[in-house]
């Protein structure tokens, strides 16, 4: 990822750096006014990310249903 960031244009570089920061950030598990993620959101995100990394693909409708559960 570092090599990709170094060779990117400035706007793309900023976007990639933000993605890396987001990926490395710890997602809050406590619900409060400033928190975007609930504990259930975090679990759904981690599950979807693992499925994506394994190469499993799902439709938007299936993703919506999983997140709704």
60 falls within a domain: yes
27 falls within a domain: no
Torsion of CA 7, 55, 53, 1, to 10 degrees: -10
51 falls within a domain: yes
31 falls within a domain: no
Give residue 29's pLDDT. 45
The average pLDDT across 60-67 equals 76
Q: Give me the residue label for tokens 């928190």.
A: 35
pTM recorded for the entire structure: 0.33
**What's the pLDDT tens digit per position in 6-59?**
555 677 667 666 666 666 555 544 455 556 677 787 788 888 778 777 776 667
49 falls within a domain: yes
Domain tally for the chain? 1
Residues 6+ away with beta carbon under 8 Å from 28: 35, 37
56 falls within a domain: yes
Give residue 8's pLDDT. 57
Conformational region of residue 54, where left means phi above 0, alpha means psi within -120 to 50, and beta covers everything else: alpha
Domain limits at 53? 38-69
Cβ atoms 29, 39 nearer than 8 A: yes
């Amino acid at each position: 990822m570092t090599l990709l960031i170094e060779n990117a244009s400035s706007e793309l570089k900023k976007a990639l750096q933000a993605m890396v920061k987001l990926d490395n950030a710890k997602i809050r598990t406590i619900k409060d006014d400033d928190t975007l993620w609930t504990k259930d959101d975090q679990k759904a995100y981690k599950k979807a990310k693992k499925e994506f990394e394994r190469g499993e693909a799902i439709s938007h409708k299936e993703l919506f249903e999983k997140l709704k559960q």
